[in-house]
Every structure is written in C-alpha cells, then in structure tokens.
C-alpha cells in the first residue's frame, strides 16, 4: 500500500507586482513601445477581472437575471490544507479498524485502494473492480456538480469505506469496532451510514445479502446505498461542516444515486412521488421536516433535479451559501432570485 499523495492547491492568489522591478526598468518604461505594451497588459488584466462577474442568462425559476460566478468564492481555499501527520493518523486508524474486523469478524476483509478511497471489502475480490469504479465515478460526478478542483483535498487523505456482505458482520463491526451503534440506535436498521469524529470520516455499508430477493437485486440496491451515503460523506466535508436543510441533503444524495445507478429504486420513485405529492398539495410541509419517509425522498429528489436542470450554476451557488451559513430563504434569493413559493410553483408547473 503506497502512501497518499496530495496535489494541494496554491494558497497564493496570482497578481502582478511591479514594485520589485520598477527601478531597474524605469528607463525601459520611458520608451513608447514599452508604454504601449503595459497599456495593453492593463486592459487584459481589467478584462480578466470583469469576466468573473458575467450574468448567467440560462433558464431559471423567474425571468430575472441571476448574477453568479462559475465558482462562488473564487480565490478562497475551501479546505484547510491537512497536515501530513493527520493524514497518516487517519489512514492508520482506518487500516487498524479493518485489521480488527479481519481478525475477529470476517476473514475475507481486504483493501481496495483508489485515488480517493480506502475500500475495505468483505466481498469476493471479483467485485473489486466494480467497487473501485463506482466510488471514483461518484467522486468525479460530485466534483463536477459542485465545482471541486482535482487539487482540492475534500477528504483528509482518503475516505475509508467498510463493505459487508452479511448483516451479522455489519452489526458486529458497528458494536465492536467503530462502536457507532452505542451512540446511534438507528444504525441497527440502516442500510448504511457515514460518521465523522473530529477529522476522521468513514462510511459503513450493511450486509448486501439482505438488500434484495436476488443476488443481482441485492447488488443493485447496494450500489444505490453506496452512492447515497458517499454523497452524505462528501457533503459533510464540502466547504464547511455545517448541516443543510434535510430536503436538500437527502434530495441531492438520492439524485446522485439515481444518476449513477440508473436501474436503482431511486431512479424510479422520484417521478411517481412527485405526481402523488402534487395531488395531495402538501409539499411545503416536506421542506420543513427533519426526517423524510420513502415517498418524500422522491419528492426531495425531484425538487433537486428541477433546480439543477433549471440552472446548475445557481444550484452550486445555493449549496455554497447554505454551507457558509445562509438560511434557505436567503440562499434561494441570492442564487436563483427566487423565494420558496417561486420554487414550488415553478416545480409544480414543470411536473404537470
């Protein structure tokens, strides 16, 4: 197993500083050609600065122009650069948990390492390539959707994922190794979860054998849960550790699962759930809930799909604003130039 290699972002913003070379080149600046060259350079720099604030005129909820940038907060590093000892400590802890599980719970536990993940799998190694591909496709899709540069260290090192085939192995791991079940009773019945303790984040997935009536169905459901929980883990680390509204968090996780696992249940339920909710007319209550039921997950996903389809740049800005502490109303107004009522009205119109 090789050590993690991080291509860290440059923390110094680019600028033109003429002061150190002013005096040696004073005579050169007196020439007409030099003056013209510097005049052209000044114009180019001015254009570069103004191009960062171009009005986005793609489709949106109302007819107004939303001023957005491709990267809200451009020039600001989203993540503190992790210290190498912290990266090594996280990796050591992840491997130690896996080794404990291998010795005491499931002897088939082995490491599948990718660019961004440490996947500790109890599955047959014949599934390793598929696990690797799904995880990296998920990371790439999330990075594109949320404008994360390849050099930005979303994880501190690599994100550990613990994958089980048998439910009893999963339950023992939650009780004896990461001991999450002592703090969260819901993990006993969960298909999977992600957990963050200080600077250490990890994902645990339940025994896939119980996910479906057939082996293929179980694996399909497993990958849906993997992407859903992986999205939660990514969002927990994205920009800040602040939580965002439940309908946004769960809707986006369901959207990612539906997108990357086309045959998943997540990709089938959102349209049906949207139609059912339109008939009931109680959509605004869903947006205030702390926990969603099965159908409400689909409605939340449908809303997120509508927002992304309407204006993906505005959606990115919306998430950035929420993660930086804006409330939902202010984030919607600043990103989409819309209120919650505008969002629901236009979503309803698009789904009729």
- Please determine, for residue 214, whether its predicted confidence score (pLDDT) is greater than 70: yes
| 38, 160, 175, 176, 177 from 94: Cα distances, Å | 55, 6, 16, 14, 11
* Interval 86-100 mean pLDDT: 97
Better pLDDT: 43 or 149: 149
Which pLDDT value is given to residue 55? 33
Q: Which helix (DSSP H) or strand (DSSP E) does residue 276 occupy?
A: helix 266-280
pTM (2 decimals)?
A: 0.75
Cβ-contact 165, 208 below 8 angstroms: yes
**How many C-beta atoms lie closer than 10 Å to residue 46's C-beta?**
10
Can you point out the beta strands (E) in 167-224? 192-197, 200-205
Of residues 67, 90, 120, the one with CA closest to residue 4: 90
Reduced to 3 states, what is the DSSP secondary structure of residue 202?
Answer: strand
**Both tokens of residue 75?**
């020039």
Better pLDDT: 138 or 30: 138
At CA 157, angle to CA 156 and CA 162, rounded to 5?
Answer: 95
User: Across 185-194, 211-220, 254-263, which has the greatest mean pLDDT?
Assistant: 254-263
Place 79 in a pLDDT band, splitting at 50, 70 and 90. low
Q: Residues with Cβ < 8 Å from 89, sequence gap 6 or more? A: none
Better pLDDT: 312 or 63: 312
Which pLDDT value is given to residue 219? 86
Q: What whole-number distance in Å separates Cα of residue 49 and Cα of residue 188?
A: 53
| Tens digit of each residue's pLDDT (9 = 90 or more) over 173-182 | 999 999 998 8
Q: What whole-number distance in Å separates Cα of residue 160 and Cα of residue 156?
A: 10
Tokens 């000044």 locate to: 42
- Please determine, for residue 309, whether its predicted confidence score (pLDDT) is greater than 70: yes
Q: φ, ψ for residue 265 (rounded to 5)?
A: -60, -35
Q: What whole-number distance in Å separates Cα of residue 339 and Cα of residue 328?
A: 9
Which pLDDT value is given to residue 251? 95
Which pLDDT value is given to residue 294? 83
- Please determine, for residue 10, whether its predicted confidence score (pLDDT) is greater than 50: no
**How many C-beta atoms lie closer than 10 Å to residue 153's C-beta?**
21
Q: What whole-number distance in Å separates Cα of residue 191 and Cα of residue 218?
A: 11
| Tens digit of each residue's pLDDT (9 = 90 or more) over 180-195 | 988 888 888 889 999 9
- Please determine, for residue 212, whether its predicted confidence score (pLDDT) is greater than 60: yes
Cβ-contact 236, 154 below 8 angstroms: no
Which pLDDT value is given to residue 33? 52
Which pLDDT value is given to residue 48? 39
Which pLDDT value is given to residue 218? 86
Place 220 in a pLDDT band, splitting at 50, 70 and 90. confident
Of residues 215, 316, 306, 300, the one with CA closest to residue 266: 300
| Tens digit of each residue's pLDDT (9 = 90 or more) over 12-64 | 222 222 233 333 333 433 455 544 544 444 434 443 333 333 333 333 333 33
Which pLDDT value is given to residue 76? 45
- Please determine, for residue 133, whether its predicted confidence score (pLDDT) is greater than 70: yes
| 46, 245, 267, 343 from 250: Cα distances, Å | 42, 9, 14, 17
* Interval 277-306 mean pLDDT: 85
Looking at every residue in the chain, the average pLDDT score rounds to: 79
Which pLDDT value is given to residue 189? 83
As a whole-number percent, the residues of the chain with pLDDT over 90 amount to 51
């Amino acid at each position: 197993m090789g050590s993690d290699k991080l291509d860290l972002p440059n923390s110094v913003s680019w600028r033109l500083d003429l002061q150190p070379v002013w005096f040696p080149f004073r005579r050169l600046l007196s020439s007409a050609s030099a003056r013209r060259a510097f005049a052209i350079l000044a114009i180019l720099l001015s254009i570069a600065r103004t191009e960062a604030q171009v009005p986005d005129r793609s489709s949106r909820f109302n007819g107004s122009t939303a001023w957005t940038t491709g990267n809200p907060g451009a020039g600001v590093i989203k993540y503190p650069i992790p210290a190498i000892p912290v990266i090594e400590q996280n990796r050591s802890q992840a491997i130690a948990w896996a080794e404990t599980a291998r010795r005491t719970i499931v002897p088939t536990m082995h490491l599948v390492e990718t660019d961004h993940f440490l996947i500790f799998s109890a599955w047959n190694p014949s599934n390793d390539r598929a696990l690797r591909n799904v995880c990296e496709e998920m990371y790439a899709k999330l990075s594109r959707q949320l404008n994360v540069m390849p050099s930005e260290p979303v994880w501190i090192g690599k994100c550990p994922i613990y994958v089980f085939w048998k439910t009893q192995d999963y339950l023992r791991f939650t009780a004896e190794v990461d001991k999450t079940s002592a703090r969260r009773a819901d993990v006993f019945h969960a298909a999977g979860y992600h957990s963050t303790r200080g600077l250490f984040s990890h994902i645990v997935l339940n025994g896939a054998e119980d996910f479906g009536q057939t082996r293929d169905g179980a694996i399909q459901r497993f990958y849906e849960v993997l992407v859903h929980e992986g999205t939660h883990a990514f969002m927990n680390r994205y920009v800040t550790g602040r939580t965002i509204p439940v309908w946004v968090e769960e809707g986006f996780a369901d959207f990612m699962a539906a997108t990357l696992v086309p045959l998943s249940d997540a990709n089938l339920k959102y349209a049906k759930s949207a139609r059912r909710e339109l008939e009931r007319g109680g959509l605004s209550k869903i947006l205030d809930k702390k926990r969603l039921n099965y159908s409400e997950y689909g409605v939340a996903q449908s809303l997120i799909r509508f927002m992304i389809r309407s204006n993906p740049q505005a959606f990115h800005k919306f998430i950035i604003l929420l993660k930086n502490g804006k409330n939902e109303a202010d984030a919607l107004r600043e990103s989409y130039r819309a209120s919650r009522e505008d969002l629901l009205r236009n979503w309803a119109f698009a789904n009729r």
